[in-house]
Structure 1
């Protein structure tokens, strides 16, 4: 059995897998090594072990895991400030710190942006070190207003958001998902419809539902997505380990989304036009530059800095490293991912 097959069979024991979404994920994965990387974090864990085992002995903070250039977005915190940062923590767990950095670097290389691989790695590493030293959330209403140019929502995008929500087919979620969704609404909101939503890369195949409700003059949306053990823990034989999602989003260096919560085996979050993952399109590809990559690196550093003891250990390890280590490691694992992708794709034909 292939590694993908083993992982998907395990998923079937952990949640009610949406088989048509699994098929859709496979077709999507065939399109490029970048999309393959996005969809197979559990394979990355094995790749690190076989091709870069020296990473495994490094300090292991609570980490994102499935880090890549499309795993960043915006949300509103409890003070309604607009926050930018990592907004998908499905695979959060204790991981050697270099994995998040190298995986982000690899994703930039595989996505084939205009920036050179060496410059991209240098920008990510510079930002990471800054995030370790001055940890904190990226607030777009105050300190980092320049990021609005990258994540601003146009009127067309607002219209597209509601078109997508209205296009989600009606569904009857299981009782647990319904309870989780209803529990995420204001007490006087009036539920209008449950629907099935198809979204994501690595999470395709997990059940995902939305609830549209009316509240004080307009519509609001909540989404529920099944929560599983991190792909890193699965790859290391810890298939029953608890997901660390709530722990990482509420860490002391973050400014969390107050609507995000886990219950009944589902992650529930508020959806809106400006609470979203910033996905690749022509405009994003054109804008991605060293400044944005430094911000991404800084966000990862800030997440890893939650533990002061581990932060100091990471900084000491970085001081011992050659300046080009991230570029070299990125090259090594980029080639490994591309070879893994070609081997997997050949197996599908």
Structure 2
């Protein structure tokens, strides 16, 4: 099937899983024309459908519970239950069991596709793999007040960043969610929060088009914000004809080697759709490439690889099986597999730009 046919098939299925916001979906289609990196972010369903045919040599790699839609902008910050500032993967919408190597290939391909990337060749793949091996040996969270202080320089929120956050909040359009959704959003707020107001939010790459609701309230002298985003089965499971009874989102986000966000939870909306609830703030956010330049240096890519390994290692004895598999693979395999995947993505992007409309 072509990218156009897969898009129609996936979005037809998506409409059976949640209320699709057609205006946001149209915006997603337009954004997919921006560049191949944005296109990759928006089309995990296409990746899930084709990657086993593109990288056939990786199909037999050990399986673990994986992120699926991993890429350079799927990292961010939050505060854990002890108030510590943590950095790591912060979106598990596409979590599913699959060969671990596909996560590594997708992360590396996203580096190769990133605009103005200065370190996108074999060196980048080697940095990610170096960090990944380190993460398998010593899995754990990246705590920004302790062992990973150096990351703070890349994720700190400036005064302009904070002003932009509140400007974006103030620009949200009012919404009228269902009574149960209102109740769930209010329940996610601190006790005795007042002056609650409800809004729709347009955000995301691959999830653009799914409904997002926001509640803004006043609590102890300032505003607090919570979001609810529709959660559906992973596109990996969709592409393989699976219908899992329960989403793996929380299994990964609260894994053994993570220090999770205590505000993150999944709740049903009463109409057959689950929603992810989370706290929004200026310093608990996804880190976009535009936030801190495109020159991702060796240490940052290595940290991404280590974080990904910590996610994978939480699945039973996957760490040992993956370590053995890595030792058996020839040098350069990750760079070459990512290049193959990148080229396939670029071809789909060209088709989309020429024929979609």
| Bigger share in helix | 1
Kept in 2, the 8 Å contact 1:191–1:211? The answer is: no
Which residue does the alignment assign to 2:306?
Answer: 298
2:289 maps to which of 266, 280, 284 = 280
- In the alignment of these two chains, the number of paired residues is 348
Which residue does the alignment assign to 1:262?
Answer: 266
Which residue does the alignment assign to 2:271?
Answer: none
Q: Structure 1, residues 4-34: CA drift from partner, whole Å, max 9, x if none?
A: 1111111111111000000000000011111
Matched, 1:119 2:127: no
Instruction: Indicate the SS of the match to 1:57.
Output: coil
Which residue does the alignment assign to 1:219?
Answer: 223
Which residue does the alignment assign to 2:168?
Answer: 164
User: After superposition, where does 1:1-349 map in structure 2 within 5 Å?
Assistant: 2-112=5-115, 113-239=117-243, 241-264=245-268, 265-281=274-290, 283-286=292-295, 288-349=296-357
Separation in 2 of the partners of 1:178 and 1:13?
Answer: 23
Instruction: Indicate the SS of the match to 1:268.
Output: strand
Q: How far is 1:308 from its partner?
A: 4.4
Separation in 1 of the partners of 2:218 and 2:277?
Answer: 18
Instruction: Indicate the SS of the match to 2:86.
Output: strand
Instruction: Indicate the SS of the match to 1:281.
Output: helix
Separation in 2 of the partners of 1:124 and 1:176?
Answer: 43
Deviates more, 1:264-273 or 1:232-241: 232-241
Kept in 1, the 8 Å contact 2:196–2:215? The answer is: yes
Q: Considering only aligned residues, what root-mean-square deviation do their CA atoms show, in Å? A: 1.3
Structure 2: where are the runs of 5+ without partners? 269-273
Separation in 2 of the partners of 1:176 and 1:339?
Answer: 44
Separation in 1 of the partners of 2:205 and 2:165?
Answer: 18
Q: Structure 1, residues 221-263: CA drift from partner, whole Å, max 9, x if none?
A: 0000001001111111114553210111111111000000000
Separation in 1 of the partners of 2:293 and 2:143?
Answer: 20
| TM superposition outliers: structure 1 runs of 4+ over 4 Å | none
Instruction: Indicate the SS of the match to 1:262.
Output: strand
Q: How far is 1:189 from its partner?
A: 1.2
Instruction: Indicate the SS of the match to 2:293.
Output: helix
Kept in 1, the 8 Å contact 2:173–2:201? The answer is: yes
Q: CA 1:271 to 1:55, structure 2 compared with 1: closer, same or farther past 3 Å?
A: same
Separation in 2 of the partners of 1:67 and 1:190?
Answer: 37
Kept in 1, the 8 Å contact 2:111–2:120? The answer is: no
Kept in 2, the 8 Å contact 1:48–1:55? The answer is: no
Q: How far is 1:50 from its partner?
A: 1.7
Kept in 2, the 8 Å contact 1:42–1:232? The answer is: yes
Separation in 1 of the partners of 2:194 and 2:65?
Answer: 38
